[in-house]
Amino acid sequence: MRRTRGIPGLVYRSVRGIAGLAGAALAAAQRALAPRLGPRPSSPEREALLAALNGVLGDHLAASGNPLALPMTLRSDGSDLELAPAALARAFGSSRGRLVVLVHGLCRNDLRWRRRGHDHGAALARDLGVVPLYLRYNSGLHVSTNGRALAGLLETLCSAWPAPVEELAIVAHSMGGLVARSACHYGRLARQAWPARLRRLVFLGTPHHGAPLERGGHGLEAVLGAMPYAAALARAGKLRSAGVTDLRHGYLLDEDWQGRDRFASASHPRRPVPLPAGVECHALAATKGGRAGDLADRLLGDGLVPLASALGEHPDPALDLHLPESRRWIAYGASHLDLLSSLSVYGELRDRLDGRGRARPLSSSGR
């Protein structure tokens, strides 16, 4: 196998060492890595590596004050936005009040919405005239921690937007859907203003009831598969982050994980969290199965998230999301990451954000 060079090679060698270290040795390895990544100019490759590191080690990075820990920010064109009226007016003008916030999944970042030449946000701006804003966050933190932070960030955004926010929508991929649901819960709990402006919430392959392939760490390699040099992170055992273990069970709230051993093999009960009232919610799922009813369709799902979990189905009525058939849709012959680049998925996403969702879920190829 060809030796990986440059920054990827450096990080690959470093994380291989991190995977076998603990305690002070881990901290020392991270300190050695920080000056090589911290001050360097940004690039898509560097950003992808930081996202992977944060996804698997992000809680430790944040707790230790490591400069590699990513702060939560809203971004556009790969740059952080200053959430102040004058700065937003300079960037976007003052006449557009239809916003779509895109929330990425585990080990990814705002730039990873572009895949195979397609970006859902850019396409929505072209076709619907909305303003796409991309969230970047440390996906290794607890989902509830990121949920609270996102709720606060959306409150600031809506207050600072230079025109009245007529409509807010959220498009969330994978773990991002858990973070978005958590944000809705905590935003309403804090009586914030932004939840009243949220009109639509579209989930793309969100593991509402967990992603069982994470159990034992097996599914993490699927998440990191697009970056072979980061695959060593998937073998880091108990260095799996709080975000990864929350993904395992679909935890949304502090109460779901506080006071529990997150590495225990047995599952723990979680508090039911209904979908936000008054918000039109849609679940777009994928399956590698070729047609409805395939065993792979139900068990394997998109390769990471089982189909029932992505559609919000659960045998316990308290946990089932009770999405009507008209707000569920399945792409057949598609993978978890195909949800980011499939044009048939985009067509559904566009129509549902435009209020033209189809009357029934349709089977479609994932391409």
Other C-beta atoms closer than 10 Å to the C-beta of 17 total: 16
- pLDDT tens for 39-54 read 556 788 888 888 988 9
Give a yes or no: residue 4 inside a domain: no
Mean pLDDT of 178-201: 98
Give a yes or no: residue 35 inside a domain: no
- How much of the chain exceeds pLDDT 90, in percent? 60
Give a yes or no: residue 44 inside a domain: no
Q: Which residues contact 365 (CB under 8 A, 6 or more apart)?
A: 331, 332, 333, 334, 344
Give a yes or no: residue 162 inside a domain: yes
Q: How many domains does the chain have?
A: 1
For the ranges 72-81, 209-218, 233-242, the one whose mean pLDDT is highest: 72-81
Does residue 225 or residue 196 have the better pLDDT? 196
Q: pLDDT confidence of 38, banded at 50, 70, 90? A: low
- pLDDT tens for 62-80 read 998 988 899 999 999 999 9
Other C-beta atoms closer than 10 Å to the C-beta of 82 total: 14
Q: Residue 143 is part of a domain; what is its CATH number?
A: 3.40.50.1820
Give a yes or no: residue 9 inside a domain: no
Alpha helices in 175-322 (DSSP H): 175-189, 220-223, 242-249, 254-257, 295-299, 307-310
CA distance 51 to 107: 5
Give a yes or no: residue 2 inside a domain: no
Give a yes or no: residue 102 inside a domain: yes
Note down the domain range covering 141.
71-353
Packed helices 6-19 and 44-63: angle between N→C axes, nearest 10 degrees: 30
> β-strand 167-173 against 79-80: which pairing, if any?
unpaired
> β-strand 198-204 against 280-287: which pairing, if any?
parallel
3-class DSSP state for residue 149?
A: helix
- Dig out the tokens for 213 from the structure: 């392939």
HSE-up (13 A, CA, CB side) for residue 344: 17
pLDDT at residue 351 is higher than 70: yes
Give a yes or no: residue 240 inside a domain: yes
pTM, rounded to two decimals: 0.85
